[in-house]
Amino acid sequence: MKKYIAALSTTALISVAPHALASSTDLTVTGTITPVACTPSLSNGGIVDNGKISAKDLKPTLHTLVGKHPLQLTVTCDAPAQFALNPIDNQAGTGSTRTWFGLGLTDAGEKLGWFSVEIKNTIADGVVAHAIDSDDDGKTWKRTWVSSPGYLLSTGSATDPSTPIAVQALTMDFEVATRIARADSLTLTDEVTMNGSATFEMKYL
């Protein structure tokens, strides 16, 4: 990606007129239009259904794992491209832990729990690769086994996890684990609906 630097030039004017010198500043708008288009998708329409869980089966003083479900992420591009996915928690601030994605609130305003996304396998153009993430908007990357809100998710080679590689066809096998907060922190006199939601936004690097 080309980077454009706005040049600042200064001039001096000596005037015999008693008027003040005018000053100004420039606004420069830059960007790149890429000819490559990539489309992400999730198996099963991106839906994880944990069914109905009885309140009496929840642990009173510990979080309770109520389900683990496989899900596959695929990204298909017109041509090899460097890209990342930005995981956005659509229920931000509702997770019982800040690291993972929230499940929404109870009617009493209590944080219901969270779900995590573990990455089991990564295949880039038919070759084993590694998932990598960045918490500084792509300046640095490291290998990861999970996807978390606030961390860009990309793909590195099996030998160098520090740099995103260009990929045309990517698959990542996810395991989505759902956990409910300790039962003694929740009001469970009526049915409570889990409402976890995350968006994986495409970003071209």
Q: Are 64 and 44 in contact (CB under 8 A)?
A: no
Cα dist. 43→18, 46, 73 in Å? Answer: 73, 6, 7
Position 68 in a domain: yes
Position 102 in a domain: yes
Nearest to 123 by CA among 75, 88, 85, 79: 75
Position 109 in a domain: yes
Position 142 in a domain: yes
Position 32 in a domain: no
Domain encompassing residue 181: 38-204
Residues 55-68: pLDDT tens digits? 999 999 999 999 99
Cα dist. 156→41, 82, 176 in Å? Answer: 20, 10, 22
Binned at pLDDT 50, 70 and 90, residue 135 comes out as very high
Pairwise CA distance, residues 134 & 85, whole Å: 10
Phi-psi region of 185 (alpha: psi -120 to 50; beta: other; left: phi over 0): alpha
Average pLDDT of the residues of the chain:
86
The DSSP code sequence of 43-95 is GGGG--------GGGS-SSS-EEEEEEEEEEEEEEEEEE-EEEEEEETTTT-B
Q: Is the pLDDT of residue 150 over 80?
A: yes
Phi, psi of 43 (to 5 degrees): -65, 160
Position 2 in a domain: no
Binned at pLDDT 50, 70 and 90, residue 30 comes out as low
Strand partners, 170: 75, 124
Choice among 29-33, 122-126, 176-180 with the minimum mean pLDDT: 29-33
Position 88 in a domain: yes
Please give the radius of gyration of the chain, using alpha carbons only, rounded to the nearest integer. 24
Q: Is the pLDDT of residue 10 over 80?
A: no
The CATH number covering residue 130 comes to 2.60.40
Position 11 in a domain: no
Q: Are 138 and 187 in contact (CB under 8 A)?
A: no
For position 33, what pLDDT does the model report?
A: 64
For position 17, what pLDDT does the model report?
A: 53
The structural domain count of the chain equals: 1
Binned at pLDDT 50, 70 and 90, residue 190 comes out as confident
> Which residues have C-beta within 8 Å of that of residue 184, sequence separation ≥ 6?
60, 61
Q: Are 78 and 202 in contact (CB under 8 A)?
A: no
More confident call, 196 vs 173: 173
For position 185, what pLDDT does the model report?
A: 92
Would you tell me how many other CB atoms lie within 10 Å of the CB of residue 88?
Answer: 14
Give the type of residue at 196.
Answer: G
Query: pTM score, two decimals?
Result: 0.81
- Torsion, Cα 150 110 196 69, to 10 degrees, reads 100
For residues 48-52, average pLDDT: 89
